[in-house]
């Protein structure tokens, strides 16, 4: 049987399938099911910096009228925020006690701030790594892209200083030069970058003429965005690149590994088809490796990454590739 073990942010993994942060990683029961289904690691549901603050303020609003002085307000706000952190710590502690695979804590943050404190506490409770899920929409026409990037890099710098376990970033793709950003994360010495997060997008219900959201579950062709960028960048950075979004089957896992991904994160397929779909994906990976005579993942990982294929135009200009293949009669 082929050896599908790998490492993820330096952590040993029995296979490259990681359960992405989401509904299935928010309770101990489903975390155990994920381990039983064969997942190599789990990323806990994110704790949202913004939500913690909002809940703190909501608790204040509810308490209005009962509180006569500033210390009282501060106490109510801090207690509500503390309860959320405690719940997260309890989940983390339970997961560390019950699972034998790596458990990664996830923090959704949008500015340099108090979340660094949470990260330190998660590490004290045994988190094997921290994933920062960073999300900012550049919707202010007054702010230059350069300024937003500077803020993000500053946040990464603070995180790296404070976090002494492996650190990964989970990002979107909206940068004018994503390749440059990915290189700059290398300078900040992160251990991995997850390409890409899939954010809810606004949509409109035309009958009700109201705002709604796009569907939560990804489509099975959405993996190509990560495929392109991992193919282009896996030989350019020292940290691990991890594929995410739209990875629903063994074939897309193999494609991402060929492009140079160290591992992949799965969410939608586990929600839609059940956690046991991971078993099918693993069986397909084993089957393919055996068919092609690969005994271990490193024997083929990155085989199609940019460096091995020249100038990378296959990864940047799909149209050009189509023309070339047609010229060769394929
Ligand atoms: C219902 C739902 C909740 C999610 N919650 C989080 C979250 O808390 N933190 C996070 O980083 N990603 C979250 N995600 C994003 C997933 O981790 C994943 O990156 C995304 O769904 C793309 O992967 P997929 O195509 O395998 O679903 C969530 C996704 C879904 C569908």
38 dihedral zone (left: phi>0; alpha: psi -120 to 50; beta): left
Q: Is it the case that residue 14 has pLDDT exceeding 70?
A: yes
- Report CA(47)–ligand 1 centroid distance (Å): 13
- Report CA(245)–ligand 1 centroid distance (Å): 8
C-alpha 199/C-alpha 267 separation (Å) is: 13
CA-nearest residue for atom 28, ligand 1, is: 22
**Percent of the chain, pLDDT > 70?**
85
Looking at residue 111, what is its pLDDT? 74
Which CATH number describes the domain made up of 6-327? Answer: 3.20.20.70
Q: 132 near 104, Cβ under 8 Å? A: no
Q: Find the DSSP H helices in the chain.
A: 28-36, 49-63, 70-98, 115-124, 145-162, 178-187, 223-233, 250-259, 268-273, 277-291, 313-316, 318-327
Nearest one of 62, 51, 22 to 39, comparing CA atoms: 22
Looking at residue 69, what is its pLDDT? 58
Q: Is it the case that residue 125 has pLDDT exceeding 60?
A: yes
Q: 122 near 55, Cβ under 8 Å? A: no
Domain ranges of the chain: 6-327
Q: What is the mean pLDDT of residues 242-269?
A: 98
Q: Which pTM does this prediction carry?
A: 0.90
State which of 91, 173, 198 you would mutate to test the pocket of ligand 1, scoring each by most atoms of that ligand within 8 A of its C-beta. 198
Q: Is it the case that residue 319 has pLDDT exceeding 80?
A: no
Looking at residue 74, what is its pLDDT? 59
Q: What is the mean pLDDT of residues 224-243?
A: 97
Q: Any idea of the CA torsion for 155, 157, 159, 162, to the nearest 10 degrees?
A: -140
Looking at residue 81, what is its pLDDT? 73
Q: 178 near 229, Cβ under 8 Å? A: yes
pLDDT digits (tens, 9 = 90+) for 198-214: 988 889 999 999 999 87
Interacting residues of 135 by C-beta distance below 8 A, sequence separation 6+: 108, 110, 172, 197, 199
Of the pLDDT bands very low, low, confident and very high (cuts 50, 70, 90), residue 309 is: low
pLDDT digits (tens, 9 = 90+) for 128-177: 999 999 888 888 999 999 999 999 999 999 999 999 999 999 999 989 89
CA-nearest residue for atom 19, ligand 1, is: 197
């Amino acid at each position: 049987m082929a050896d599908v073990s790998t490492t993820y942010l330096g952590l040993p993994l029995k296979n490259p399938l990681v359960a992405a942060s989401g509904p299935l990683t928010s309770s101990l029961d489903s975390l155990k099911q994920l381990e039983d289904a064969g997942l190599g690691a789990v990323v806990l549901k994110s704790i949202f910096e913004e939500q913690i603050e909002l809940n703190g303020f909501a608790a204040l609003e509810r308490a209005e009228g009962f509180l006569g002085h500033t210390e009282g307000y501060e106490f109510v706000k801090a207690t509500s925020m503390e309860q959320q952190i405690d719940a997260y710590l309890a989940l983390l502690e339970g997961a560390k006690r019950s699972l034998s695979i790596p458990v990664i804590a996830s923090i959704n943050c949008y500015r340099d701030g108090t979340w660094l404190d949470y990260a330190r506490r998660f590490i004290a409770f045994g988190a094997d790594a921290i994933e920062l899920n960073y999300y900012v929409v550049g919707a202010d026409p007054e702010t230059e892209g350069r300024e937003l990037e500077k803020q993000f890099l500053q946040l990464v710098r603070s995180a790296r200083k404070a976090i002494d376990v492996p650190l990964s970033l989970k990002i979107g793709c909206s940068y004018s030069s994503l390749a440059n950003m990915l290189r700059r994360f290398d300078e900040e010495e992160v251990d991995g970058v997850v390409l890409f997060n899939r954010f809810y997008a606004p949509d409109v219900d035309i009958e009700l003429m109201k705002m709604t959201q796009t569907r939560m579950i990804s489509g099975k062709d959405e993996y190509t965005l990560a495929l392109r960028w991992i193919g282009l960048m896996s030989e350019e950075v020292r940290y691990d690149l991890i594929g995410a979004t739209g990875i629903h089957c063994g074939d897309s896992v193999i494609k991402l590994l060929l492009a140079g991904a160290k591992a992949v994160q799965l969410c939608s397929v586990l929600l839609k088809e059940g956690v046991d779909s991971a078993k099918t994906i693993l069986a397909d990976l084993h089957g393919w490796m055996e068919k092609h005579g690969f005994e271990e993942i490193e024997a083929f990982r990155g085989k199609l990454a940019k460096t091995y294929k020249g100038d990378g135009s296959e990864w940047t200009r799909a149209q050009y590739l189509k023309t070339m293949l047609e010229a060769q009669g394929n």
